[in-house]
Amino acid sequence: MKKRLILHIGQPKSATTSIQSFLKNNRGALLEQGVLYPESGLQYQAHHCLGTFFSGGPVDWIKPLDPDAVKAALLAEIGAVDCHTVVMSSESLFYPRVDPALARRYFAEFDVRVFMTLRRQDEWLESALRDNIKTGHVNGTDHLARAATLVSSVDYEAQINKWVPVFGDDSMILTTFEPGGNREPVEQRFLDSIGAVFQPEMHVEPTQNDRLNRDCLEYVGLLRARRRISAKYFTFFGILAEYSKQHKDPEEYRYVLPPDFRAGVMADNAQKNARIARKYFNRDDGVLFRQEPDAQQAPWAPYPGLSRAAAVRIGEYLADQLYRQLEACQAIA
């Protein structure tokens, strides 16, 4: 009998990193249940190399690995333990360039289940755009133009229909991610969905709010480096996130994207979402996301730009926090 392989493909910005960290941190406890989260192919806490294996070319932020070597190491790792289920995860598999047929050939020895988490389209676009600005994928201030290039990513029916012909309807495991709307932790919901048991003693990392306020987001966008994805910048972003908690945006600056854009995206996807809800969630009412969009109700105003005074405050805060970190390192040494 083939072993079951859960291929967790994202969606990005839907607590994917939290789930990956949880799976990596609890490998021993999960293996006791017959669930293996392999070390083979790991980059950080996820199997990002799969995104290059199945897309026919390199991805700049993913470490290049040899597909045959990873496959051999994976099979050896599985053979050395007692497991019935293997979980591999990377949000890079959600990208349009990924070819599911390549994934099927690569995992021919397994009974594959494709796990996909969906986030409400307007909220995902806002989160993804902010992340693009922060990490340097988008430069300048024409944020609507960048958001328009991301709209195709939230056609979830098209994404599902790309995988179904290759693996079949029965292979799809779909959940939704609605921050603040689900009572149980996302880690528990993931295990429930794959038939594993969440145990109270399992380690769950505290939820980190890395959202930057508009001034910090603008400040980061002024940096000369165009690819801000290294550990150096993660430290930098962490400090700015703390600053943002202390200097929250006025409500009208909460969203980068204006309400008419967000409402339009939801309207364009309404019928597709309803079909997904009925087919994959057995919801006769056709409601995929329980939390109602606030695109038309929330106050919104164009962000006026980063003032010199705000830039100075951010710079002073950065200098102070970096010096504190240096003092702490020197004290340990």
Whether the pLDDT of residue 311 is over 90: the answer is yes
Whether the pLDDT of residue 295 is over 70: the answer is no
Query: Could you give the percent of the chain with pLDDT greater than 70?
Result: 96
Q: CA-CA distance, 293 to 283, in Å (whole number)?
A: 19
Strand-pair category, 35-36 with 172-177: unpaired
E-strand ranges in 152-280 read 172-177
Burial class (CB in 10 A: 0-12, 13-18, 19+), 200: exposed
Whether the pLDDT of residue 314 is over 70: the answer is yes
Whether the pLDDT of residue 35 is over 80: the answer is yes
Whether the pLDDT of residue 238 is over 70: the answer is yes
3-class DSSP state of 117: strand
pLDDT of the residue at 180: 67
pLDDT of the residue at 73: 98
pLDDT of the residue at 331: 83
Q: What is the pLDDT of residues 87-115, one digit of tens each?
A: 999 999 998 899 999 999 999 999 999 99
In whole numbers, what is the pLDDT of the chain averaged over residues?
92
Q: Which residues contact 99 (CB under 8 A, 6 or more apart)?
A: 54, 55, 56
pTM score: 0.92
User: Can you list the domains of the chain with their CATH numbers?
Assistant: 3-121+154-194 (3.40.50)
Read off the amino acid at residue 214: R
